[in-house]
Structure 1
Amino acid sequence: MVSVLHSARQRVAHTGEALQGLKRLRELGLSDPSDPVGTVRLLRDARVFGPPATAIRRAARMFPDQPGLADERGELTYRQLEDQSNALARGLQRNGVKPGTVVGVLARDHRGLILTMAAVGKLGARLALMNTGFAKPQFAQVCERENVRVVLHDSEFLGLLDALPEDLPRILTWVDEGAEIPSGAKTLDELVESNAPTPLPAPKKPGGFIILTSGTTGLPKGAPRERTGPLSTVQMVDRIDFPQRGTMVIVSPIFHSTGFATWLTGCAFGNKVVTARRFDAERTLRLIAEHRADMLVAVPTMLHRMVELDKEIRQKYDTSSLKGIVLAGSALSPELSVRTAEVFGPVLYNLYGSTECAIASVARPEDLTIAPGTAGKAPLTCEVALFDDDGRRVLAKNVTGRVFIRSGSPFKGYTDGRMKEVIDGYMSSGDVGHFDDRGLLFIDGRDDDMIVSGGENVFPQEVENLLLERPDIFDAAVVGVDDVEYGKRLRAFIVPEPGVVLDGEEIKAHVKANLARYKVPRDVFFLEDLPRNATGKLLRRVLVEYEPPTA
Structure 2
Amino acid sequence: MSISLLLEMATSNDPDRTAVVSGDVRLTTQQLSDLADGGAGLIARSEASHVAYVGLGGAMLPLLIFASARAGVAFTPINYRLSADGITALIARLPDPLVVVDSRYLDELGGPDGLAGITKQVLVSDDFLAQARDAEPAAEFADPDSVGIVLFTSGTTSQPKAVELTHNNLTSYVTGTVEFASAEPTDAALICVPPYHIAGVSAALSNLYAGRKMVYLPVFDPEEWVALVDSEHVTSATVVPTMLDRIVTVLQQGGHQLPSLRNLAYGGSKVPLPLVRAALELLPHVGFVNAYGLTETSSTIAVLTPDDHRDAHAASDPAVVKRLASVGQPVPSIEVQVRDENGAVLGPGETGELFVRGEQVSGRYTGIGSVLDENGWFPTRDIAMLDHDGYLFIGGRSDDTIIRGGENIAPAELEDVLIEHSHVRDVAVVGVEDPQWGQAIVAVIVPAAGIDPDPEELREHVRKSLRGSRTPDRVVFRDELPTNATGKVLRRDIVEELRAAPAEQ
- TM-score bucket of the superposed structures, by smaller chain: 0.7 to 0.9
Q: Which moved more, 1:521-530 or 1:293-302?
A: 521-530
Question: 1:549: how far off?
Answer: 5.2
Q: Which residue of 2 aligns with 1:516?
A: 467
Q: Is the 8 A contact 2:463 2:470 kept in 1?
A: yes
Q: Distance in 1 between matches of 2:141 and 2:202?
A: 23
Question: 1:112: how far off?
Answer: 2.0
Does the C-alpha gap of structure 1 residues 498 and 153 become closer, same or farther in structure 2, counting only changes over 3 Å? farther
Q: Is the 8 A contact 2:289 2:304 kept in 1?
A: yes
Q: Any residues of structure 2 matched to 1:252-267 within 5 Å, and which?
A: 252-267=193-208
1:401 aligned partner, one-letter code? G
Q: Which residue of 1 aligns with 2:320?
A: none
- Aligned-residue sequence identity (percent) comes to 27
Q: Any residues of structure 2 matched to 1:402-551 within 5 Å, and which?
A: 402-420=353-371, 422=373, 424-547=375-498
Match of residue 383, structure 1, among 331, 335, 339? 335
Question: 1:423: how far off?
Answer: 6.4
Q: Which residue of 2 aligns with 1:33?
A: none
Q: Which residue of 2 aligns with 1:213?
A: 153
Does the C-alpha gap of structure 1 residues 466 and 234 become closer, same or farther in structure 2, counting only changes over 3 Å? farther
Question: 1:130: how far off?
Answer: 1.3
Q: Which residue of 2 aligns with 1:328?
A: 267
Q: Does 1:318 align with 2:265?
A: no
Does the C-alpha gap of structure 1 residues 60 and 227 become closer, same or farther in structure 2, counting only changes over 3 Å? same
Q: Is the 8 A contact 2:43 2:98 kept in 1?
A: no
2:259 aligned partner, one-letter code? S
Could you report, residue by residue, the CA deviation over 1:180-214 in whole angstroms, capped at 9, with x for unpaired residues? xxxxxxx2243134435xx4242664662212222
Question: 1:487: how far off?
Answer: 0.8
* Count of equivalent residues: 481
Q: Any residues of structure 2 matched to 1:45-444 within 5 Å, and which?
A: 46=2, 51=3, 53-94=4-45, 96-98=46-48, 101-159=49-107, 161-162=109-110, 164-166=115-117, 168-173=120-125, 187-195=127-135, 199-202=137-140, 205=143, 208-228=148-168, 231-237=172-178, 243-245=183-185, 246-309=187-250, 311-313=252-254, 315=255, 317-345=256-284, 347-358=287-298, 359-368=300-309, 369-370=311-312, 371-395=323-347, 397-420=348-371, 422=373, 424-444=375-395
Q: Distance in 2 between matches of 1:488 and 1:235?
A: 43
Q: Distance in 2 between matches of 1:496 and 1:148?
A: 49
Q: Which moved more, 1:518-527 or 1:275-284?
A: 518-527
Could you report, residue by residue, the CA deviation over 1:216-267 in whole angstroms, capped at 9, with x for unpaired residues? 33322111123126542244338x9974431111112232112211221110
Q: Distance in 1 between matches of 2:29 and 2:21?
A: 11
Could you report, residue by residue, the CA deviation over 1:2-23 in whole angstroms, capped at 9, with x for unpaired residues? xxxxxxxxxxxxxxxxxxxxxx
Q: Is the 8 A contact 1:421 1:428 kept in 2?
A: yes
Q: Is the 8 A contact 1:481 1:491 kept in 2?
A: yes
Tell me the TM-score normalised to structure 1 length. 0.81
Does the C-alpha gap of structure 1 residues 214 and 244 become closer, same or farther in structure 2, counting only changes over 3 Å? farther
Question: 1:300: how far off?
Answer: 2.0
Question: 1:160: how far off?
Answer: 5.0
1:121 aligned partner, one-letter code? A
Does the C-alpha gap of structure 1 residues 212 and 54 become closer, same or farther in structure 2, counting only changes over 3 Å? farther
Does the C-alpha gap of structure 1 residues 480 and 495 become closer, same or farther in structure 2, counting only changes over 3 Å? same
Unpaired runs of 5+ in structure 2? 313-322
Unpaired runs of 5+ in structure 1? 1-42, 175-186
- Give the secondary structure class of the aligned counterpart of 1:393: coil
- Give the secondary structure class of the aligned counterpart of 1:252: coil
Question: 1:392: how far off?
Answer: 0.7
Q: Is the 8 A contact 1:235 1:408 kept in 2?
A: no
Question: 1:499: how far off?
Answer: 3.5
Could you report, residue by residue, the CA deviation over 1:150-203 in whole angstroms, capped at 9, with x for unpaired residues? 2111123225534533552211225xxxxxxxxxxxx2243134435xx42426
Q: Which residue of 1 aligns with 2:319?
A: none
- Give the secondary structure class of the aligned counterpart of 2:427: strand
